[in-house]
Amino acid sequence: MPRALMIVLDSVGIGGAPDAEAYGDAGSDTLGHIAERCAAGLGDRAGLRAGALRLPHLAALGLGLAAAGASGRIPPGLNTAGRPAGAYGHAVETAAGKDTPSGHWEITGLPMPEPWGHFPETRPAFPAALTQALITEGGLPGILGDRHAPGVAIIDELGAEHVRTGRPICYTSADSVFQIAAHEEAFGLEALYALCRVARRLCDPYRVCRVIARPFVGSAKAGFRRTGNRKDFAVAPPGRTLLDRAEAAGRSIVSVGKIGDIFAHRATGREIKPGPNAACLQAGLDALADLTDGGLIFVNLVDFDTEYGHRRDVPGYAAELEAFDARVPEIQAALRPGDLAIITADHGNDPTWTGTNHTREQVPVLAFGPGVTPRSIGRRDSLSDIGATVAAHLGLPWDGAGRPFL
């Protein structure tokens, strides 16, 4: 029986979506702009990387051609010599928004037609009733922040006051999020998680997609830094996903990285959350070695987004892409006859763009494995085509959105 491996390169968009203008993102192109900056010598960082963007293995799978389908041009350095080694194309998100859960849910056959609730870019950003309820039910002396802000910057700004007063740092962004940052030692990690559970319930009437715990450590003198103990408290998918269908069929499921949080831990099987991209990819490959017939592994590699996209770090993003590309041969070697691997993304986060938020972009779809015929699959009008294809490959019944492309 066949198996499937899905890898989401979180935020690796390949060109503005048809409706990007409505989101203020017309002209955004995460992969293309990174490649252009690198080709111009603007992606160099001493001790990290230098020169043109080098993604030979992803290019061989058709990434450059997929980008050309989405943006009209092959990014510098991503030309394919000869026939691509897999099926390649690009997909358009139909869900309203550009958030991580919406993208992942659509990948698994559940597009969200209604937009999430968002907090306005005002000061304060949160409704007074929500803030007061959080203070009262959370037993807090108050909160700090209460505005749109980049996470690292607001922790640097307010971390010392938070430690001194015990008031957590609450902030948001253009995404549908309520984020709470607190010091792991001074406030307590479990106390932060408990507060986020309260906030999750309080945010439900506002249609807020995620409440995110953002723990950090350090001091004003030594500097503050976020830790790997982030935890997302997301709304559960409002319908059946590919994961639900796999679970109902008794299939083995392994979720790596943020997948468990994104799907509210429903039908996510064995969850592994080891940390950075390299560790998550290794965990996925280790799980693949033992995966039973008919099983599914779903991996999210979040560092592209959180560490480099939101921080507008072109050299860091480029280096992370190159590090992943170097391991593509490992993925190919781990596939058995009958296996299917798909590499894709959930949205964009162009590090050359204004602001620090996600960008509304199309995403690559690279499908490969011992039995996959190399060819163009063209434009897919929904990310749900990915879930429909995996369901067909695994022999799962399908009544979700999307159409198989293999």
pLDDT (average), residues 33-51: 97
- 355 — alpha (psi -120 to 50), left (phi > 0) or beta? left
Asked if 395 contacts 404 with a C-beta cutoff of 8 angstroms, the reply is: no
Distance of alpha carbon 162 from alpha carbon 361, whole angstroms? 36
Distance of alpha carbon 385 from alpha carbon 400, whole angstroms? 10
Distance of alpha carbon 216 from alpha carbon 314, whole angstroms? 24
User: What is the SS3 assignment for 255?
Assistant: strand
Residue 75 burial (CB count, 10 A): 25
Average pLDDT, the chain: 96
CATH architecture, domain defined by 128-233: 2-Layer Sandwich (3.30)
List the single range of 109-118, 142-151, 152-161, 261-270 with lowest mean pLDDT. Answer: 109-118
pTM: 0.92
- Identify the H or E element spanning 321: helix 314-325
pLDDT (average), residues 40-56: 97
114 band by pLDDT with thresholds 50, 70 and 90? confident
- At residue 80, φ and ψ (nearest 5 deg) are -105, 125
Superfamily of domain covering 4-112+238-394:
Alkaline Phosphatase, subunit A (3.40.720.10)
pLDDT at 349: 97
pLDDT at 232: 92
pLDDT (average), residues 366-392: 97
Domain positions in the chain: 4-112+238-394, 128-233
pLDDT (average), residues 370-374: 95
For residue 151, is pLDDT > 90? no
For residue 81, is pLDDT > 90? no
- Domains 4-112+238-394 and 128-233 belong to one CATH topology: no
pLDDT at 228: 87
Percent of the chain with pLDDT over 90: 94
In tens, the pLDDT along 183-206 reads 999 999 999 999 999 999 999 999
For residue 211, is pLDDT > 90? yes
pLDDT at 241: 98
174 band by pLDDT with thresholds 50, 70 and 90? confident
Asked if 402 contacts 18 with a C-beta cutoff of 8 angstroms, the reply is: no
Percent of the chain with pLDDT over 70: 100
Q: How many residues does the chain have?
A: 406
pLDDT at 360: 97
For residue 61, is pLDDT > 90? yes
82 band by pLDDT with thresholds 50, 70 and 90? confident
Cα→Cα distances 194→173, 199, 218, 256, 295, Å:
22, 9, 22, 23, 34
pLDDT at 113: 82
